[in-house]
Structure 1
Amino acid sequence: MERHFDPDPPVQGCVYIASGCHRSELYRLATFARFSRLSYAKRADLASDGYYWLGFEDKIKCFGCSVSLEKWVEKDSNVSCHEASCVRDVFNIPVERSNFRSLLREFKLQIESPQVNNSDIKLANIIDREYACFIKNLDLKRESKRRETFKKWPSYPIPHAVGELAKQGFFYLGNLDRTQCFSCFGVLRNWRPIDDVSEIHLTHFPKCTFARGSFSGNIALAEHDRGNLDDLLHEKIRRLTINVKEPDEPSEDEKQYLAELFPCLNPANPVMSSLSRRIATFVEGWDPAKINASVEQLANAGFYYIDSDKTKCFYCNGGLRWDRTDEVWTEHAKWFPQCEYVLRMKGIEFGRRIENTYPNLNRPIIRNPITKLELTKRQSVLRNRQSNGGPPLNCIERERPWRVNDVK
């Protein structure tokens, strides 16, 4: 458990931007509602070009390639900088051209949030600047607002604890499973499913007025409202963990593209590159009752059997143990989203979707991960070669494979 807290670094001039669909030009346009350093027309141009404002100084970001720009207003207001692999033109949801002022009026109430005075709450260190802005604009004495901070709470190991943590005075600090009490400012983490939140709160911070039941300014949810929110949470968890459907196979064209983008030339265990060899490892010792998936499904997802219920991926060397309802590709992408074999077999969008569904997991380091920078580089090289009529990527003499954190 983490008991100390660090002073929260000051974030001057920070404006909370309500979450929304970054693909929507109308939403991006609305993020500039309080960005008064540019003309209305220029703000509309930025939104049209894929940018949205992050609420701090002049920092903007493109939704299509994640390029961030700052300190550019004074230099060149005609700035436009994107990665070669930017997909803003493909996924943009355009807005019908209309009066900019009327569009701003329509969305201003959604984007602007009433300023809340949290000066009496000594916030612990919050790593993400945007999340710090979000926290600063919430009335953390309200249980309902504390629950809002858990939207990106890790889905493992205690997804169900959100309601109880908020009820017992805690809000989420945005990384790992770090939580802070609004009353005593104490920070606790490393929560377990068996933990009694109220008891642990009082044990570590016995002088906390809220934990002791004294007046602390807390504004609790009504039992009826709390029950409804808990029911929605439990239904969300149920959908994530039960009867997970195996992802669809990519189309033939996409398979060819993925094979060129992810040639899988650097397996951790080359001996197990063969599907038949992986299947053969399950002949002795494997208990098929441990998981609903078949041996063929496990092997096809890259796994071979070690002992007990332990399996490993031949490519990334990631090891997993199984529960009965696990879907093998989902678990593979959940714990090892940078595995090149997963990306080749199921595609980039599947990997991103699963990784975003389970944020903040303490994932193991794999031997040969595909980083975002490497992926962008490969996409650019492949696109250039194809446009120049060159051979496919996996038919060309390659440089030494990219390797980061080569852990045995």
Structure 2
Amino acid sequence: MPVIMENETFKELVPKGMECYKNRLNTFMTKEWKGDISMKDMAVAGFCYTGTTDEVVCHKCKGVISNWSKFEIPSRLHKKIYPRCDFVNTLRMDAIKKRIQFDSPQKETDSGEISDKEDVMEFFLSEFNRLMSFEKWPLSSPVDRYDLADSGFYCVDGTSAVICVGCGKEISDWKLGDRPKEKHQDVDGMPCQFAINKGSEEGDMDEVEIKQFITHCLSS
């Protein structure tokens, strides 16, 4: 059962710059995360690692949780225990707004205004936003949601259907051993350059680059 601590005690444990997902993820990588839950799930939910067992702290509300069960979903537990946290509330509201827009796409107007669907596609150019769309991704899926988000896909409705933010192709018949980029090309034999090159506006770094960045920061 999760243990909740008084957040006032842990204000000093949240370093600067933790509004950024990559920086939160870095805290788990540099302090050797000891929990059973994915460090990426924790970072997506707004948590930073304190370096003690499986104890994490929210960068926004400073709420602290430890003693995690491997079956817990960080974002849901965060919302349940700290319902007034601005981070999880804003995150969910943004997702709801974007989903409403996507479900009812509008055509471009004569004045040249950008349609709602184009606005949604722009929203999912961010790898972080794509990853958030997989919150209800089936645990039984044979394909990892991080691989899908990294390859340019976002989840349609919490099932196995995903859409490429680059070319708009929808894929749902995932099988064990499938690789997102290869599967994407097999749909029509034409590779999508966005999926190949990732194309995220965030300038996402791989784990080696992240560790190099951390080393540079610590030495400066």
TM-score, L = length of structure 2:
0.39
Report which of the two structures shows the higher radius of gyration computed on alpha carbons: 1
